[in-house]
Amino acid sequence: MSALGIAILALTLGHVFSNAVRTLPAMAADVLQADLGVSADGLAALTGAFPAAFALTMLPVGVALDRFGVKPTALALLAIAAVGAALGAVATGPWSMLAAQLVLGVGCSGMLMCPMTYAAKNLPPQAFGLWGGVIQAFGNTGMLLSASPLALLVDHAGWRSGYVACAMLALGAALTVAVVVREVRVAPQARRSMLEDARDVVTLGLSRDIRGPVVIAFASFAAVLGVRGLWGGPWLMEVKGLARVPAGNVLLACTIALIIGPAVAGMLERRFQRHRRGMLAAGQLGAAAAIVLIVAGGALGWGVAADALLLFAFGLLVSTQVICFALVRAAVPPERVGRALSAMNVSFFGGAAVLQAASGVAAASGGLAAALLVFAAALSVCTLAFLRLPGPR
């Protein structure tokens, strides 16, 4: 592998960490609720602070990536993320866990954008879609840590050990980035203020060229975080009656699909670039249908094998979200790509914050099925809106 490829993967270690730490509550929801003294919807609200802080931090992160460079931005964020994981490990109640989630959200806000921006600035546009899929696929391996391995760790050493392991992962990623990544120093842009750069991120997010990907992004990652990161574990344990480790094994089906899916979507995007909008829409609508079928299976008494199959289908289909990055990259010049990708990521995680909170309210009033259907509805609405909006092809 080339030095460029190794540097991209080194930066993607931060995304591995981010996926591990933000999906950790899925396999520890019951013990987290008991130890922190919160209800299911209370835990959803607490963990919803992560994507909220993430989305708010994306404005300065997008500016920093273009203004100061990828490597220093990545190292600063990894240090903050390690502190957030340590705070999670020592949390004793809802307020201390809220603080941990906020710090983690800030630290993780650039974990995907750092390798994406580095790749976009150093690769030709025709190769970016494929590498975008590779970055997503490698980063999603972090979810493997929060499936069966975490279930075993929680059973034997408690949920706090999961946060300790994540803190160690963040420090290891920072060391790797410091050693491996080489970047030409970016001169400060004195002609523009930080406020003007931040305003540019917002303007890009609302612009005609990337408005469509921004809209579909609002629901897409929220669905991943909601199904795989929060409600999937409780659904399998409370509705399907599985113990923690067997539930983790079933969630592995979704995790494996989320690792395979982005790489497949990246290859398809490169091969069929003229049809990428259609592939993106079909994937997101298919993911919504998979969620509906999971809920229907709970009411109809389908076996756990059906859940595993549908979770795999959901992960594979929703992974077409990686095409959003290719659409945005095609719409802007390289010197603005950090801000443009960050503008879309605001929607990714802002949507996750809003919809996760909505799913908590739905869970309190209608149970786990209602919580899951929030994401199916959002995927459907945002995808249909995406199809009606203009944008890069």
- Show the domains of the chain with their CATH numbers: 3-178+197-388 (1.20.1250.20)
Residue 392 has pLDDT above 70, yes or no: no
Q: Check residues 390 and 232 and name the one with the higher pLDDT.
A: 232
Q: What is the mean pLDDT of residues 275-298?
A: 92
pLDDT tens per residue, range 59-90: 788 778 878 889 999 999 999 999 999 999 99
Whether the pTM exceeds 0.85: the reply is no
Q: Give the chain's length.
A: 393
pLDDT tens per residue, range 335-372: 677 677 777 877 887 888 789 889 988 988 888 999 99
Q: Which two tokens stand for residue 159?
A: 């949920």
pLDDT of residue 269: 82
